[in-house]
Amino acid sequence: MTEDSRLLILGRVSAAYGVKGWVKAQAFGDDAAHWRDIPEWHLAPTENGPWRQQETEECKEHGEGLLIRFAGVTDRSKAETLKGCWLAAPRHALPPTAADEFYWADLIGLDVMNDKGENLGRVAGCIASGAQTVLRVRDGETERLLPFVAAIVHEVDPVAGRMRVNWGVGW
């Protein structure tokens, strides 16, 4: 799979909505409005797949998430079967990020070093906490939760595979 065709997880189906096959989607990130134009989604029962392509009929903003109607999903019963499914899209279908913005997939796997050069581990995942994204940084059995804010995260370099933060080893 090329980098451009790699699937990026963008959210999850949280519930059926109405009686005409719509689903509510919880968006992982703060810019779900740009996702309205994604022509195809991929759904899976777990974040590891198996993924199946699903064409989008309609998509619109709803609160902090989205409402999506997929091709072939025409009633509430069919929509309810999608509850809990992970939503992903190919990277090429997503809008580009600004210089200081990142998709979670760009952060996961980065090595995390503090300003003193001490290794804190690797980004294992991200959590949407409302106010900001929280990074799950793992170092063996140790897990640290770091807010993804400018006061903590000083540098993100996906090409080099690392991130520099203002965080102590014992925190």
Which residues make Cβ contacts (< 8 Å) with residue 15, sequence separation at least 6?
Answer: 23, 24, 83
pLDDT of residue 5: 59
Backbone dihedral angles phi then psi of residue 3, each to the nearest 5 degrees? -55, -40
Once rounded to an integer, what is the mean pLDDT over residues 20-45? 83
pLDDT of residue 76: 97
Residue for token digits 């063996």?
A: 140
Tokens describing residue 142: 């140790």
Query: The whole model's pTM is what?
Result: 0.71
* Higher-scoring residue by pLDDT: 47, 165: 165
Q: Has residue 23 got a pLDDT over 90?
A: yes
Q: What is the mean pLDDT of the chain?
A: 89
pLDDT of residue 30: 62
What are the extents of the domains in the chain?
Answer: 3-93, 104-165
Burial class from Cβ neighbours inside 10 Å (0-12, 13-18, 19+) for residue 122 reads middle
What would be the CATH architecture of the domain defined by 104-165?
Answer: Roll (2.30)
pLDDT of residue 2: 42
Superfamily covering domain 3-93: RimM (2.40.30.60)
Share of the chain above pLDDT 70, in %: 94
Compute the distance between CA of residue 137 and CA of residue 109 in angstroms, rounded to an integer: 9
Q: Has residue 93 got a pLDDT over 60?
A: yes
pLDDT of residue 1: 42
10: Cα separation from own chain's centroid: 4
Q: Has residue 65 got a pLDDT over 90?
A: no
Once rounded to an integer, what is the mean pLDDT over residues 21-35? 80
Compute the distance between CA of residue 124 and CA of residue 73 in angstroms, rounded to an integer: 34
